[in-house]
């Protein structure tokens, strides 16, 4: 695997050779049972260029496995999703990448014109809330929004959902990520407005006023700082997402993952083929690979990632996707209102 690093400061690419370690076993759609490369001799290309914001440990599991299974050599360009989308748009007349891997629906959807229509053969096995409804955006894993609790500090306070966070005993002890800096914080606002505020958004904002008052002037600068603050005992509860919370559990922190009784937004991560991709058939193989049962079973086991498939068990210690109430994201509602919500939250927070 060749890895490239892109930065917002420069349009130039810095080439880095990186040896990937790790192992996940995966499959590539219909050919997943075959140990031999999936590239026929008649095919010219054995290359694939993947633009991705995926974490290094995820790439180091997935990419070598894909190369091993298919015989396709992958060049990886890494950067934030926003930077990659800008790059793809700038290159649209002559695409240099084949696949964009990473980013949530709310980020990718407004740019879907940059991507090729493609539905994987694995779509039939994808959970209903993560179907490729647009025709060009495939969900390869899903991330529920959750609350995490420090079991040593919570005492007799019962936490089952958002309403329980209004307990006066928790004042100043709630880790809430700043939604202007954290997509997790913004997604939780959407979660609140689509549950407590369902049918009447003002009810959701009435709740937010009470919650921000209970924050006692404290906002967390990043999503990653929430599990650390709760695990270290600086906070009793935290607003976060499942992958961060479950990682803390796996690392031995005295925390528990709570799925809000009011309902949980499950935010999918995505993969899509860049329109006009030079290595189109290989790009399709990569999308099929990311959505295969073998690969998603492996990433659930090794990386604690929750699969988007119906036939892959939840990572150890996590609830089954069918055991909590899922709120399907109203994407249009969110896209139309995200900035207004950020402005409103700022006003509500400052007033408290």
For residue 63, list its beta bridge partners.
Answer: none
- How far lies 163's CA from each of 28, 44, 136, 256, 263, in Å? 44, 59, 37, 18, 12
Q: Rounded to two decimals, what is the model's pTM?
A: 0.67
For residue 150, list its beta bridge partners.
Answer: 255
Rounded percentage of the chain residues whose pLDDT exceeds 90: 59
- Higher pLDDT: 56 or 121? It is 121
What is the reported pLDDT for 23? 32
What is the reported pLDDT for 250? 76
Q: In a 3-state reduction of DSSP, which class is residue 264?
A: strand
Closest listed residue to residue 242, CA positions, set 250, 232, 233, 234:
250
User: Which of 29-33, 67-71, 193-197 bottoms out in mean pLDDT, i.e. has the lowest?
Assistant: 29-33
What is the reported pLDDT for 40? 45
Q: E-assigned strands of the chain?
A: 2-7, 10-17, 47-52, 73-78, 99-104, 138-150, 174-175, 237-241, 255-258, 264-273, 326-327
Q: In a 3-state reduction of DSSP, which class is residue 295?
A: helix
What is the reported pLDDT for 4? 62
First to last CA, the chain: 51
CA–CA distance, 61 with 26 (Å, rounded to integer): 10
Mean pLDDT of 102-110: 81
Give residue limits of the domains in the chain.
2-142+268-303, 143-265+324-351
Token look-up 């407004």 returns 110
CA–CA distance, 189 with 77 (Å, rounded to integer): 32
What is the reported pLDDT for 44? 61
What is the reported pLDDT for 41? 40
**pLDDT band, very low/low/confident/very high, at 269 (cuts 50, 70, 90):** confident
Token look-up 């130039």 returns 12
Q: In a 3-state reduction of DSSP, which class is residue 177?
A: strand
Instruction: Please enumerate in sequence order all residues whose Cβ is within 8 A of that of 185, keeping only pairs 6 or more positions apart, or say none.
Output: 176, 177, 178, 179, 223, 239
**pLDDT band, very low/low/confident/very high, at 5 (cuts 50, 70, 90):** low
Fold match flag (2-142+268-303 vs 143-265+324-351): yes
For residue 181, list its beta bridge partners.
Answer: none
Domain 143-265+324-351, classified CATH 3.40.190.10, yes or no: yes
What is the reported pLDDT for 29? 36
For the domain 2-142+268-303, what is the CATH code? 3.40.190.10
What is the reported pLDDT for 10? 36
> What are residue 6's phi and psi, to 5 degrees?
-105, 145
User: Which of 113-117, 283-287, 312-316 bottoms out in mean pLDDT, i.e. has the lowest?
Assistant: 312-316
Span 240-256, pLDDT tens digits: 988 788 878 878 899 99
What is the reported pLDDT for 309? 94
- Token pair recorded at residue 77: 């360009």
CA atoms within 13 A on the CB side of 156: 0
For residue 274, list its beta bridge partners.
Answer: 115
What is the reported pLDDT for 34? 35
H-run or E-run covering 56 = helix 56-70
pLDDT at 15 exceeding the cut of 80: no
CA–CA distance, 252 with 242 (Å, rounded to integer): 15
Span 143-171, pLDDT tens digits: 899 999 999 999 999 999 999 999 999 99
What is the reported pLDDT for 61? 92
What is the reported pLDDT for 17? 31
């Amino acid at each position: 695997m060749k890895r490239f690093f892109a930065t917002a400061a420069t349009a130039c690419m810095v080439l880095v050779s990186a040896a990937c370690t790790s192992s996940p076993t995966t499959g590539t759609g219909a050919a997943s049972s075959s140990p031999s490369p999936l590239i026929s001799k008649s095919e010219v290309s054995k290359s694939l260029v993947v633009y991705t914001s995926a974490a290094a440990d995820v790439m180091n599991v997935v990419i070598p496995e894909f190369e091993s299974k298919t015989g396709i050599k992958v060049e990886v360009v890494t950067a934030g999703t926003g930077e990659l989308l800008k790059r793809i748009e700038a290159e649209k007349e002559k695409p240099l990448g084949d696949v964009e891997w990473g980013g949530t629906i709310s980020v990718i959807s407004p740019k879907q014109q940059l991507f090729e229509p493609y539905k994987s053969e694995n779509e039939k096995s994808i959970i209903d809330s993560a179907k490729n409804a647009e025709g060009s955006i495939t969900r390869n894993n899903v991330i529920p929004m959750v609350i995490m609790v420090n079991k040593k500090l919570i005492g007799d306070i019962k936490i089952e959902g958002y309403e329980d966070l209004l307990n006066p005993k928790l004042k100043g002890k709630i880790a809430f990520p700043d939604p202007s800096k954290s997509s997790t914080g913004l997604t939780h606002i959407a979660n609140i407005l689509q549950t407590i505020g369902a049918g009447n958004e003002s009810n959701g904002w009435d709740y937010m006023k009470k919650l921000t008052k209970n924050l006692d002037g404290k906002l967390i600068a990043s999503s990653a700082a929430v599990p650390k603050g709760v695990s270290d005992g600086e906070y009793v509860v935290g607003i976060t997402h499942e992958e961060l919370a479950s990682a803390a559990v796996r690392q031995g922190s005295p925390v528990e993952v709570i799925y809000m009784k009011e309902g949980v937004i499950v935010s999918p991560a995505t993969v899509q083929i860049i329109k006009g991709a030079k290595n189109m058939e290989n790009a399709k193989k990569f999308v099929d690979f990311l959505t295969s049962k073998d690969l998603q079973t492996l990433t659930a086991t090794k990386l604690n990632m929750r699969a988007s498939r119906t036939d892959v068990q939840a990572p150890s210690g996590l609830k089954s996707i069918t055991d909590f109430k899922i709120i399907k994201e109203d994407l249009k509602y969110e896209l139309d209102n995200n900035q207004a919500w950020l402005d409103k939250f700022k006003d509500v927070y400052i007033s408290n």
